[in-house]
Amino acid sequence: MGDVEVVRLLLEKCNHLDHTGAGSLTGLHVSCLAGHLEVTQALAQRGANIEARDAVSFSPLHVACLFGNESVVEYLLSRGVDVNIAGSVGERPLHLAAIRGHYKIVQMLLKKGARVRQQDEEGNTPLHCCVKIGHFGILNLLLQPQYRNDAHIANIYLDTPLHMACYEGWFECAKTLLTYGGSSLLLKENLWGETALHAACTGGQCIDLVDYLLSQDAAFVNYQGVDGHTPLHSACHHGHTRIVQLLLSHGADTNLTAHNRPDTNNHHHRPYTRLIANQRSHHHDKKVLTQDEQTALMWAYEQGHDDIANILKHYRRPGLYEDCARGDYLAGLDTSYFPIPSPLGKLRTMMQEKIDVLYLRSVLPPHLHLNLAEIENLENINSGSFGKVYKGRYNDKIVAVKRYRANMLYGKSDVEMFCREVSVLGSLDSPYIVKFIGACLHDPSQFAIVTEFVPGGSLFSTLHEQKRSIDTVTRFNIAIDVARGMYYLHTLPQPIIHRDLNSHNILLSSECRARVADFGESRFVRNIFEENMTKQPGNLRWMAPEVFTQCTRYSIKADVFSFGLCLWELLASELPFAHLKPAAAAADMAYRHSRPPLEMAFPVEVSVVLEKAWHKIPEQRPNFAEIIDELEILCANQKACKEGENDHLHPHHHHLHACISTCNGDSPSGSCTPPEAAQHISSELSGRVPASPLPHSCYWNGHVSALRNRWEQEASRGQTAFKSSHPTIEELRSRLNNNGYVEGNMYQYRIAPVFVRHRKPLL
């Protein structure tokens, strides 16, 4: 207990001050461990050996430094104890104080002459010790000029302090060491042929550190160690998906092989140059590998990291294979030998599934645990790769039941999607989100999610299958409901990114109010840094470019892009890029920055909202709070327009355009134009005879009869303009490419050339 009076009494009767107990500890060792200064002083004054050794050759100074007892250390140093005394494996008190982060003790030891370059039996210096744990302050202290430290000293594994910092992911420590030791530290390899960049990719602790090291010299991204492995190999072997993506974005070559010793004269340039020459000389023939040559893809596949293997299988390095056909994303290596899932990856997934299900059962409230036998099956509604959706009855309420199949498809487990959707839905409560009733979790063959039944079906079905006529106010209300639902998801205490927002997943009630549904691809934003956020979830036709290209980690702004396409689809009543297949549409938006055409009939205010939402730079897209404000203004103007006088509405004007122009007093160009003048100008530009005003019953109100009358009038007057602005079949055939697609955007033919100059360029 550190009772100094009792100790002094015992010392008067005891002649064996250095008697040892368990572990060969003396009384002085114990007092230094406990930090009892007075007891330590009493023992030392009576002649106790201040350099006595325990079972591991630790002196009392070692023990005091290890446990951070500053006053005891100061007293022992004042007694003249050897400050550089070594333990059984060569560790000095300075090593122990540095690894434990005791800054003041390190200062005291240095003032007493502790040597900063001393190494233990593994060759570690105090620098190695402090950076391993990330003690930045001690690192700066040890690197002060008066101590003449050397950051290039390596241990028996040839690890420099920079290697240690990179393995553990200490960004600031690594930057400081590079500043002190110079860029030559980047070229030092350890016993396993790993440079500092390899080490950072192996540890995978800090992606910012990897990015910083790459910024020092771009050539290091393809640096091959003594066995030929690159930083990409290291990241693939250890399953660090985000780092793999970062390396690819910096030009990492997926065809470099390990176990292929490079030329020692210029070992971090020549293998890469030699491979490029080989690829270009053989064009796109598959690269034949020997048994000892392994690409990064092989390393990822063998370790069961299927998400990384999938990325590498479909990755094509931009600019390296210029003569590749468009859409060919495969590199020179034949990837058909790597079916996904891999054997180890499948086992890993199965184990993770069991863990996820058990965890979900434990955290889901009891009232949300349902029995599938208690739900009456009324009729099938939909089906997909995940299973089936049917209409049922539970507790006298009509519900929708989504059944999952417990299988795996392309490495993505339906059980994983099921667990994620349940965990997300169970945390939501909003009138703009489909209501979660419960889940069936007990039998894997009967996994199901039960939600409220939304009778109106999906927006996709309403627009493109049923082709129902929807008035403009209702369209705006649907858009506002969806935006509010997404705003709710993005502003939760634990925000959620939907990742699959499209017209299939927007459900309509009988009153045409919208609810967001289908959260199988959703993620909590808190997990963005833990998971691969560059997969391609959801439907390609509504996919944001940064998601499709898989070249960067995406954010909640991907949902904003998808919403912009849904809004355009809702107002235009057409599929985005309906003339293209989904993958081609996504590629056009990603690589050509194509966007659906902004109709001449669209008012400027609507066009601005759309252009902001699908901006090519995610950070430039608005948040949903801003979108809601703009849509509510447009909806209010539309309502006011319907209630007001619209006898002068010109037949060439879209109902959206006319209402906003009339209510705001502004034309789309920013000036106030009387309806009669606008009608005259529009007639002159289009070459059409001005039409007589429609009867009151034929104004734009969403009725089919009004639409038909409008079309008949326009068809009788606009044959000439139609022919001049639409290509003939022969012209279209002349534009066919080798893949059977018409070159250029077909939507441009729907807008007369005379109006093109009035459109604002897409962002």
Judged against a pLDDT cut of 70, whether residue 148 lies above it is answered with yes
The string of pLDDT tens digits covering residues 92-140 is 999 999 999 999 999 999 999 999 999 999 999 999 999 999 999 999 9
Better pLDDT: 524 or 735: 524
pLDDT tens figures, 421-456: 898 998 899 999 999 999 998 888 889 999 999 999
456, 506 Cβ separation under 8 angstroms: no
Q: Which residues of 358-377 are buried (b: 16+ CB within 10 A; e: fewer)?
A: eebeeebeeeeebebeebee
Report CA 644 to chain centroid distance, whole Å.
48
pLDDT above 90 for 564: yes
Contacts of 530 (CB under 8 A, 6+ apart): none
Contact 346, 307 (CB under 8 A): no
195: Cβ contacts below 8 Å, ≥ 6 apart: 186, 187, 188, 189, 220, 223, 225, 231
> How far is CA 344 from its chain centroid?
24
Range among 184-193, 410-419, 689-698 with highest mean pLDDT value:
184-193
Pairing outcome for strands 436-440 and 506-508: unpaired
pLDDT digits (tens, 9 = 90+) for 667-682: 333 333 333 433 433 3
Give dist(CA 678, CA 676) in Å, integer.
5
Please give the angle made by the CA atoms of 627, 629 and 633, to the nearest 5 degrees: 115
Residues 6 or more apart whose Cβ sits within 8 Å of residue 369: 361, 438, 439, 440, 441, 442
Active site residue 263: no
pLDDT exceeds 80 at position 639: yes
Which pLDDT does position 80 carry in this prediction? Answer: 92
Q: What is the pLDDT of residue 516?
A: 96
pLDDT, average across residues 58-70: 95
Q: Would you state the pLDDT for residue 757? A: 34
- C-alpha 212: how far from its chain's center? 19
Tokens of residue 311, six digits: 């990325």
| Span 393-404, average pLDDT | 91
Is the previous residue joined to 341 through a cis bond, with omega within 30 degrees of 0?
yes
Hey, what long-range contacts does 34-37 have (CB within 8 A, 24 or more apart)?
34/2, 34/69, 35/64, 35/67, 35/69, 35/71, 35/72, 36/2, 36/4, 36/72, 37/69, 37/71, 37/72, 37/75
Q: In the chain, pLDDT over 70 holds for what percent of residues?
A: 72
Tokens at 72, concatenated: 């005891």
- What is the C-alpha separation between 54 and 21, in angstroms, rounded? 9
Q: How far apart are CA 461 and CA 60, in angstroms?
A: 80
SS3 393: strand
- Percent of the chain at pLDDT > 90 equals 48
State the Cα–Cα distance between residues 300 and 285, nearest whole angstrom: 23
Residue-by-residue DSSP string for 313-326: HT---TTTSTTSPT
Check: CB of residue 754 under 8 Å from CB of residue 688. Answer: no
Looking at residue 730, its pLDDT comes to 63
Q: Domains of the chain (ranges plus CATH)?
A: 217-340 (1.25.40), 344-452 (3.30.200.20), 521-555+573-722 (1.10.510)
The lowest-confidence range among 237-251, 290-304, 609-623 is 290-304
Helix 231-238 vs helix 196-203: crossing angle, to nearest 10: 20
pLDDT tens-digit series, residues 723-738: 444 556 666 556 555 5
State the pLDDT confidence band at 58, using cuts at 50, 70 and 90.
very high
Q: Give all strands (DSSP E) within 385-525, no chain letters.
A: 387-394, 397-404, 408-409, 412-413, 436-440, 448-452, 496-497, 506-508, 514-516, 523-524
Give Cα 269 to chain centroid, integer Å.
31
C-alpha closest to that of 502 among 428, 436, 582, 580 = 582
369: DSSP letter? B
Residue 507 has pLDDT above 90, yes or no: yes
Q: How far apart are alpha carbons 400 and 377 in whole angstroms?
A: 10
pLDDT in tens, 460-495: 999 999 988 888 899 999 999 999 999 999 999 999
pLDDT band at 210 (very low <50, low <70, confident <90, very high): very high
Is pLDDT of 744 > 90? no
Q: Is the predicted pLDDT of residue 745 greater than 50, yes or no? A: no
3-state SS of the chain: helix, strand, coil percent to 5? 50, 5, 45
pLDDT level of residue 752 (50, 70, 90 thresholds): very low
Distance CA 287, CA 399 (A): 55
pLDDT in tens, 22-41: 889 998 999 999 999 999 99
Rounded mean pLDDT, 506-516: 94
Query: Residues 6 or more apart from 614 whose CB is under 8 A from it?
Result: 561, 564, 565, 589, 595, 621, 763
What average pLDDT score do residues 288-306 get?
80
Say what the pLDDT of residue 7 is: 76
* Pair of tokens at residue 742: 């018409």
Asked if residue 558 lies in contact with residue 499, where contact means CB atoms within 8 angstroms, the answer is yes
pLDDT at 1: 55
- Euclidean distance between CA atoms 420 and 500, whole angstroms: 14
* pLDDT, mean of residues 202-229: 89
- Residue 636 near residue 605, CB atoms below 8 Å: no
- CA-based radius of gyration for the chain: 35
pLDDT above 50 for 756: no
Residue 736: per-residue pLDDT? 59
Considering the candidates 500, 518, 559, 588, report the single residue annotated as catalytic.
Answer: 500
Distance CA 86, CA 653 (A): 90
d(CA 554, CA 171): 23
Q: Is 616 buried (19+), middle (13-18) or exposed (0-12) by CB count in 10 A?
A: middle
Distance, C-alpha 683 to centroid of its chain = 51
Rounded Cα distance, 602 and 759, in Å: 10
* pTM, 2 dp: 0.59
Q: What is the mean pLDDT of residues 221-235?
A: 93
Predicted local distance difference test score (pLDDT) of residue 603: 80
**Region for 499 from its dihedrals, namely left if φ exceeds 0, alpha if ψ lies in -120 to 50, beta otherwise:** left
Q: What is the mean pLDDT of residues 705-709?
A: 49
Highest mean pLDDT: which range of 131-135, 552-556, 689-693: 131-135
What is the amino acid identity at position 149? Answer: N
Contact 128, 158 (CB under 8 A): no
Lowest mean pLDDT among 270-279, 438-447, 532-541, 603-612: 270-279
Q: Quick one: pLDDT at residue 567?
A: 95
- pLDDT at position 346 is 78
pLDDT of 698 higher than 70: no
The whole-number average pLDDT for the span 195-204 is 95
Confidence of residue 740 (pLDDT cuts 50, 70, 90): low
